[in-house]
Structure 1
Amino acid sequence: MFGWLCVTLGVAFGSALIPLISVEVFVIGLVTSDPGIPWIAVGAAVALGQIAGKLVYYLAARGSVRLPDFLHDRLHRERPPSPRRDRWRARTKRVRRWIEALRERCHRHPHWMTGTYGVSSVVGLPPFMATTVLAGLVRMPMSTFLAAGLLGRFVRFSALAAAPALFAGWLHL
């Protein structure tokens, strides 16, 4: 049982870093193949792994983690003018303004961001990855980030592990 919980922690960490990995499918498969694993332990392992992985994105968005030089140089180097790049900037100007307005609103109403992040950690809407990055951008206190994220992810994955048949039916719709 302990071995499976360690694997679960690792899969959850990996899925937090690489969104193509589905920890939900892993949890359903795990608890249906070995019903002896306590659902509460599965929920705790996934919550810890997910938040540990998302902490990397949170810290990077906050500016506490410096990108590797090859990424940093690629993102911030001077480039010659290009019509393609100018078109791209013109297309994304509205999105950048929207993100900046959202960031300002989050600074003015910090409880709004906490609520959004907490709901996202349970429901997944808005996308948890997006709210994680936004929490870093608006400099949400780390204690709030960890508490809301751990609680929300624990609720989500404990429920999933406790009733896999209910959620497995949703995957086949």
Structure 2
Amino acid sequence: MPSTVAEAAMAFVFGLASGVVPVLNVELYLLGLGTLGGGTLLMGAAAAGLGQTLGKIPYFYIGRGALNVPWLKRRARTPPRWAERAERWRAKAEGRPLWALGLVGVSSLASVPPFMVVSVLAGTVRMPVWSFAAVTFVTRTVRFAVVVYAPGAALWLL
């Protein structure tokens, strides 16, 4: 049992860190966890999903203008190729809360459009933080469950 808790704690910490610092790849970490096959894989996916959710909340608050952390603001800047698209999404999302939730869900699940950009956008359009966090947690956990179970599924197919 202690190894399961330790694995979940590590998945949470890595998920949190990769949520704030996108160069850290939580999917690679979870792929390794799935390959080793220890503990409860779904618990690891959920822990990483919670960590990622908490890691995206600062970007959400940057979009709201409530957080002024210079290095995070630099990371949150929309890449030039996404700036025009982000403005169109913002215009659509402001009057359509379900569309905004759908965009957050799709981006969180598929990372297209980039989820960091969508996290800032969600704050910009004044989406309630609880709905952003709930959709993010569920969709990230689903994404991470697919990743963590992929090695076992691949072995089963062979």
Structure 1 unpaired stretches of 5+: 73-91, 169-173
1:5-84 → structure 2 map (5 Å cutoff): 5-33=8-36, 35-67=37-69
- In the TM superposition, residue 36 of structure 1 has moved relative to its aligned partner by 2.7
- The two structures have a TM-score, normalised by structure 2, of 0.81
* Equivalent position SS for 1:9: helix
- Measured against aligned partners, the alpha-carbon deviations of 1:128-156 in whole angstroms (never above 9, x if no partner) come to 11111111111111121011001101111
* CA contact 2:62–2:123 (8 Å) conserved in 1: yes
- Measured against aligned partners, the alpha-carbon deviations of 1:115-139 in whole angstroms (never above 9, x if no partner) come to 0111111122111111111111111
Q: Distance in 1 between matches of 2:68 and 2:150?
A: 41
The answer to whether 1:104 aligns with 2:107 is: no
- State the number of aligned residues: 147
- Structure showing greater radius of gyration is 1
- In the TM superposition, residue 71 of structure 1 has moved relative to its aligned partner by 8.9
Among candidates 114, 134, 144, match of residue 127 of structure 1: 114
Q: Distance in 1 between matches of 2:111 and 2:82?
A: 22
* CA contact 1:122–1:153 (8 Å) conserved in 2: yes
- The two structures have a TM-score, normalised by structure 1, of 0.74
Identity %: 34
Look up the equivalent residue of 2:145 and give its one-letter code: S
RMSD over aligned CA atoms reads 2.6
